[in-house]
Structure 1
Amino acid sequence: MATRASKRPYQIVIFGASGFTGQFVVEEVARVADGEEYRGQELRWAVAGRSKKKLEEVLEWAAERMGKPQLKSIDILICDINDDPSLAEMCKKASVVLDCVGPYRFFGEPVVKACVENGAHFVDISGEPQFLESMWLKYDRQAADNGVYIVGSSGFDSIPADLGVLFTRNSIQGTLTAVESFLSFKHGPSGVCIHDGTWQSAIHGIADQGNLRKLRRKLALKPLPVVGQKLKRRGPVFYSNEVQQYAVPFPGSDAAVVKRTQRHLYENLQETPVQYAAYVAVGGILSVIQLMFAGFFFVLFTKFSFGRKLLIKYPKFFSFGYFSKEGPTQQQMEESSFSMTFFGEGYSRGLDPQQGKPNVKICTQVSGPEVAYVATPIAMVQAGVTLLKEPESLPKNGGVFTPGAAFSKTKLIERLNKAGIHFTVLSKMDA
């Protein structure tokens, strides 16, 4: 990897840099490149997409926001998702491609394929289980043969959850057997808003649940062994004494990603698999009623083509203002933050997890800034830098990985802590 990376013009290429999320990834790469060296030299990076004009505008925007006029001279690569030769050319020039073009179910595979075939590592920020798992099915062996690391879900979906479970496991002196996480969001007086690209991914994901089930039957994976007491599943809506709010199962990809990580660690490193359930805190009973009402109509509309078109055309109306084509304002981003709290149980060192009740409880937390356009770029860029700088700590062979599977032996958590996504132990108690 080091030899190949050193010979390529760019260590990092941001594909889709002119998109709404891509522009913030550009800003984050520029920030990180200031303090990072690779093999004794300044980090070399470029932006890529189909419109030179839009890419120039993004570089000008970033240069103005950061007070760095030199960003205007960053190299631009022209390539199109529908032009395979242009994607191949981009991948030949890059050590790591940060792919910001979603929804990934429609636009992700050509980039994965080009990276695998042309020796570039790949990082995305997908929260789409069908895309993530289909890439695992299709490209894992070829990526391994070519020494390429394809690492999906490296944004807010699902680095806090996946690495949060590993952090919790590493913070317990013994064997962690089960974890529940509760996600909470905070926002200021100006409210919260997310760009509608995420909304579209959710619409298509809910509509295509049947194909996801077919894909998982095709994968035909054996159930992981249950170590210790079986984790009890909660209802669709419940009051959580842990966070003192009502909560619902988290609808994103976190649980699926963590399960894949635990499978990898169990099957390849013989590590004890951790049971996991993900929830999101929603507040009081009024919030629950609003959520149930909105969720009913959202699921109903996704079942029909006409309904999906309406949801996509009017995101602000159907999401009660939470999603829009304009995305959040700078003030909304500055006022927003998240915390994900993990409640784990296990057995102290020397005790057999198959005998008796768990005797250790631990509470940890991952917290950080606004999730979509501040925390996600931080996570994505640090994942890319880790691929570059810690090849010896990655899995022995390439392949298609979750963040936890790829980075469990690296210093990524340390990097994230320094960059603004914080991992902390809140409490630990032996029975």
Structure 2
Amino acid sequence: MAPLPVGSRPHHILVWGATGFTGRLIVEYLHANYPLDADGGSAAQPPLRWALAGRNEERLRAVKRDLGLPPGLPHLIADSHDEASLEAMSGQADVVITTVGPYLKYGTILVEACARAGTHLCDLTGESLWVEEIIEKFDKVAQSTGAKIVPSCGFDSIPADMGTFMIADHLKRVHNTETVEVTYHPGKFSSGAPSGGTVASLMGIVEAAWEGGAKVRNQLNDPYLLVPSDQRPTYSNPSTGGGFGYDAAARGWTAPFVFAGHDSKIVHRSNALLHYGPLRYRECMLFGGRVLGLVPALCVAAALNVAAALLFLPPTRALLRRALPKAGDGPTQEQRDSGFFWVNLEGKGADGTRVAGVVGSDHGDCGYKETAKMLSECAVTLALDGARLPARGGVLTTASAMGAPLLERLRARGMTFTVETVAPGGGSGAAAASADGSKKEL
């Protein structure tokens, strides 16, 4: 039987993977911000009906008990490898949040089910190869049903993707010019250890790179991997460099940033769908000062290269797998609550206009507490703001699927997204002002 139309289904949102480390954080966030009454009905305004989903009945009941959730909160049972159960589950909600990774291993069947049912889906993947796979397999299916399949709705890649969207929107709306450059520099941030799920996803990416040889490694290094072949840039100097070196304009040394490889692919897909302009996107760490910045930039670059080598080689990878967090592990609540992150963005228009932006939050760590907020608000935007969203379906990005309505929701929940035109005479190293007027530096 065909699923009910979106908007007429029993639930606005289903949290798939609610018993995992990150899934529980999503449930905590929804419970705190979109409460339910004792019967599991919405006590929020506007009403938001949400429910849990997982493969183990006892663990789902334990989550409801441990988090003090209403006993009437619905929960559904399904299995990541059971196509029929995922089809049935996806037809029960307008939006599915999935935290069940690695997505290369557990995500594909669910994407297919949602794409065919016209169900919106958002996830936390940083697995570029998987995103390419679901674009190839399900983009046209989702277009035909109107399903918005939106990967990377956490720290990778909302600050990069929505930050670039904010810069490009400002340049177009205020200055009527295309965007030709965006640079992303992480500023101050504090976060705890990765969760077991994050480690598993990272191991999956590295194993794919090892097994796939040069072809897969070239794909991982290609910033335009997720851009349709007929829209790949032909303009000069399109690279997304972000390695070790001295940036004279910013007056500091740069080093690679671990999220840059995936972020750049998401940003360029957004540009392909939204047409910002002949965009050159660069994401890297910046350490100010010709002398003072050299040593920390060199140390970061060296440490990342050593870590990459240890992860890439099977013997050392096996040793690291034993030492790194396991499924269910993650940073403590104190680490999550005390964390923060800030990102500085600089943009340039085709007419030479320069703008500066800031994305960040002092309300929690980037990888878990604020990621739970970002992912949850993506789902709420898809569920409640449909009339304001682009009509397109497909395998999209946060910027191309939700754009301004998502920015509004994230700002309303305490995240900073600010942009301003740099004063005449400002260069690419101009200070980026945050909401309180201060510059967020390393």
- Indicate the residue corresponding to 1:169 in structure 2: 168
Q: Secondary structure at the match of 2:13?
A: strand
CA contact (8 A) 1:193 1:324 kept: no
- Indicate the residue corresponding to 1:275 in structure 2: 280
Worse overlay, 215-224 or 286-295: 215-224
- Indicate the residue corresponding to 2:192 in structure 1: 192
* CA drift at 1:275: 2.2
Larger fraction in helix: 1
Q: Secondary structure at the match of 1:256?
A: helix
CA contact (8 A) 1:249 1:280 kept: yes
Matched, 1:17 2:18: yes
Q: Secondary structure at the match of 1:371?
A: coil
Aligned pairs (5 A) from 1:161-310: 161-172=160-171, 173-174=174-175, 175=177, 176-187=179-190, 192-209=192-209, 210-211=215-216, 213=218, 216=225, 220-224=229-233, 226=235, 236-239=243-246, 246-252=253-259, 253-266=262-275, 271-281=276-286, 285=294, 287-288=296-297, 290-310=299-319
Q: 1-side partners of 2:193 and 2:90: how far apart?
A: 34
* CA drift at 1:304: 3.6
* CA drift at 1:286: 5.2
Worse overlay, 71-80 or 253-262: 71-80
Amino acid at match of 2:407: I
* CA drift at 1:429: 2.1
Cα deviation code 1:356-415 (max 9, x no counterpart): xx2x2211100113112111111111111111222233333311101111123x411011
- Indicate the residue corresponding to 1:105 in structure 2: 104
Q: 2-side partners of 1:192 and 1:241: how far apart?
A: 33
CA contact (8 A) 2:122 2:151 kept: yes
Q: 2-side partners of 1:400 and 1:6: how far apart?
A: 20
Q: 2-side partners of 1:149 and 1:124: how far apart?
A: 12
- Indicate the residue corresponding to 1:5 in structure 2: 6
- Indicate the residue corresponding to 2:359 in structure 1: 366
Match of 2:329 among 317, 326, 329: 326
Q: Secondary structure at the match of 1:420?
A: coil
Q: Gaps (5+ residues) in structure 1?
A: 64-69, 317-322, 348-352
Amino acid at match of 2:105: F
Q: Gaps (5+ residues) in structure 2?
A: 210-214, 426-442
Matched, 1:387 2:382: yes
Larger fraction in strand: 1
- Indicate the residue corresponding to 1:59 in structure 2: 64
Amino acid at match of 2:308: V
Cα deviation code 1:211-235 (max 9, x no counterpart): 3646949963442254xx9578656
Q: Secondary structure at the match of 1:5?
A: coil
* 1:395 to 1:217, Cα distance in 2 relative to 1, 3 A: closer
* CA drift at 1:324: 9.4
* 1:290 to 1:272, Cα distance in 2 relative to 1, 3 A: closer
| Two-structure CA RMSD over aligned residues (Å) | 3.1
TM-score, scaled relative to structure 2: 0.81
Amino acid at match of 1:338: F
Q: 1-side partners of 2:24 and 2:405: how far apart?
A: 26
Q: 2-side partners of 1:382 and 1:166: how far apart?
A: 17
Amino acid at match of 1:332: Q
- Indicate the residue corresponding to 1:336 in structure 2: 339
CA contact (8 A) 2:407 2:417 kept: yes
* 1:230 to 1:116, Cα distance in 2 relative to 1, 3 A: same
TM-score, scaled relative to structure 1: 0.83
Q: 1-side partners of 2:294 and 2:391: how far apart?
A: 49
* 1:18 to 1:232, Cα distance in 2 relative to 1, 3 A: closer
Q: Secondary structure at the match of 2:187?
A: strand
Q: 1-side partners of 2:322 and 2:239: how far apart?
A: 40
Worse overlay, 251-260 or 276-285: 276-285
- Indicate the residue corresponding to 2:90 in structure 1: 91
Cα deviation code 1:43-84 (max 9, x no counterpart): 111101111222222222322xxxxxx534311111110111
* 1:194 to 1:426, Cα distance in 2 relative to 1, 3 A: farther
* 1:223 to 1:306, Cα distance in 2 relative to 1, 3 A: same
* CA drift at 1:313: 1.7
- Indicate the residue corresponding to 1:27 in structure 2: 28
Identity over aligned pairs, percent = 28
* 1:75 to 1:217, Cα distance in 2 relative to 1, 3 A: closer
CA contact (8 A) 2:13 2:50 kept: yes
Q: 2-side partners of 1:61 and 1:244: how far apart?
A: 51
